[in-house]
Structure 1
Amino acid sequence: MKKILYFTLISIISLCFNGCSKSYIATVNGVEITKDQYENAMKIIEATGNYVDNGYINNSKENIEKNYKIDLKKIIISLLVENEVVYQQGKLLDLEPTKKEIDIKYEQLIKSMNANKKYKSQIESVNIDKKYLLELIKKDITIENYKKAFQDNIQISEYEMLEYYNSNKEKFKVNEVRASHILISTLDKNNNEVSKEEKYMLKERANKIKEEIKNGESFEALAKKYSDDRKSGKNGGDLGYFTKNEKNIEFTSKVFKLEEKEVSDVFETSYGYHIVKLTEKRNYVKEYSLCKDEVKQNILNEKYIEHVEQLSKEAKIKS
């Protein structure tokens, strides 16, 4: 199912299609996919892996670096080729977006990037041009429109859904935790990161709070007193139950490694410095009645991937 993961990142990965290198790694019905596109895609996917639950990439990084690079290279090239195949089909079916739709998507993308300054700076290092980005958003929306049009024409029976669920229960297993945190924010009122000097002092404050916890002070009382996350702070820092997908991966990558009742060391995310207390871990399989929409979408995604693979077989692809 790893290709579904990459298709869900099209909006981010599509930023890589700048550059006009004469060196290309493949052609799709005569359209070149350049070495520059591949190299920029690699940078963006690796940067994105720090901010989304990109399980395949993160797991691959645990392997030998050389093998990881080879494996990821194949995936990226495959993605770029298949995106081009789908885009060409979308154009043939007149599924390109209006200028208004492109502008709305652009504003949403910029707003999202501005909310995470570190991520924005990493993405900007790829030298994105606004005019070209607008053209790429057009391509991205066309691909999404094609996918939606394809899936809207598929009928899935209740029997097929139930059979899929019973044969793939591991896909509906929920791993979640309940945790509390104390946040010392490093963002100002305009959501910009404070100066290095201020960050240093804020980290010292977080370390002092951690020492108080070590010395037996109540985590809940300290959260109410110090946490800049006022919503959870008034409840002793309690965040309730959540999965890896429901919080920032910078945060969950640390939290999910904790044992029950363990308190983390101070760690940093895009929001500031955190101290986390893990209350409980639990695992269960969702009941069919509670995940029917997810079952249906999984089936649709798999049928779509099979369709794209067939389109790729029929296309004139050279590498």
Structure 2
Amino acid sequence: MRKIGTVVLTLILFITASAQAQQDSTVKPAAVKEKVRMLDNIAGVVGNSPILQSDIELQYAQFLIQGNAPNADVKCQILQSLLSQKLLVQQAVIDSVQVKDEDVDNEVDRRMRGMIQRAGGQDRLEGFLGRTVIQYKDEIRSDIKEQMIAQNMRSKIIEKLNVTPQDVKAYFENIPKDSLPTYNKEVEVGEIVFQPKLTKEEKSLYKQKAEDLRTRIKNGEDFAALARLYSQDPGSAPEGGDLGFSDRSSFVKEFSAVAFKLKAGEISPVFESDYGFHFLQVLERRGEQVHTRHILIVPVTTEASLERAKHMADSVYTILQKDKKIDFSAAAAYYSDDKETKYNGGMMLNLDNVQTRTTHIPTDKLDPQVALVVDTMKVGATAAPQVFTEKETGKKSYKILYLKSVTDAHKASLETDFPKLKEATYDAKVNRTISEWFEKRRKETYIRVDENYLSCPQLKGWPSAAITAQTKP
């Protein structure tokens, strides 16, 4: 059975974080320990694997911390999720479904980085936990591993599912006509992006700042302290620049090229990527993964560089207007600075539907700046360059927009909405397959649910028949 300390300390973190947001106060660990001790009953059993009431209370505490209103029914949903997870893990043992230790370590590191950021730094987090981050990571690792194994088992169950055009047609025809979904107005929008580029002279100031910080570290100053003070990577700066363990695919190519050449303890030269000027230190190597920390200095866009981007955008717009032999797609591939769209004919993708890579975007999902321009355009038109500002970073760039198509709000049809219906058909097939799998495994597995949860509608049919009969008056 899991040590009670893990649950206690996690609850301390979440409860303290909530109180901190309201009145900057802390929770007495002794009081929390007593509360958890009273709650630590067996809420359910799957095979020989128990589910503690404190597991449920922990997840419910997280639910409340996220700003949700109290709702006792959520505990029913949590228990159902934990029962499902145990079933999947037990089948994973039979089917030899596993996860790599390095993948578990990466997920633990990722979650801890998020906790450190929310707590306001590693020292503050360790104060909440009452122990070091390393100790806490060891305690939560087994739980996270179980979650990952369950997810891999679920993926194995549905890995061979596919959807044919006949499946989509049958799915569509089984929808009652008065229940057909209505799709919002959608557009297809292309873009050619012109990002401001600094000259070598303009960049030199920022490169030198990175060089100076590197020199200070080489002369004995603390890497983590300088990263917290000066690094402009918002994700890692609060953690002393620590990026945890990652493989090559986790980094931009310039970063990977440097990180995987160094030995543990070595500090790289200053190098440039799309993000700015970095230097990094390798803390540890583990097979095809590397544990790094870095300091990033981000160059600031100048008015001169923005003006140069505008001039380039105006020139390309003029070419598109005068030379009809050059279409928008070719111009985007040649001129655009946006790596996500330039090789897609400049067309934006619906990021809410990445799997199908559809270019049809609901107007309410468009960047409001783009939507404002597109709303005044006719299909086939190209808008004159305008300056756009990224919401998250505040960076500015010039864009030429092209409106390829408009689809008004309408009831679903096979002709116009096949990709969406295909996705809906697949989702329905996945849900049916998973439901059938659980139905079969529930009948074959000993499952007990605490009597306090037997009234949960989500758990109807979960307890073993003999157990259910024993609980009836």
TM-score of the superposition, structure 2-length normalised?
Answer: 0.37
Could you say which structure has the greater relative contact order, defined with CA pairs below 8 angstroms and 6 or more residues apart?
1
Q: Which has the larger radius of gyration?
A: 2
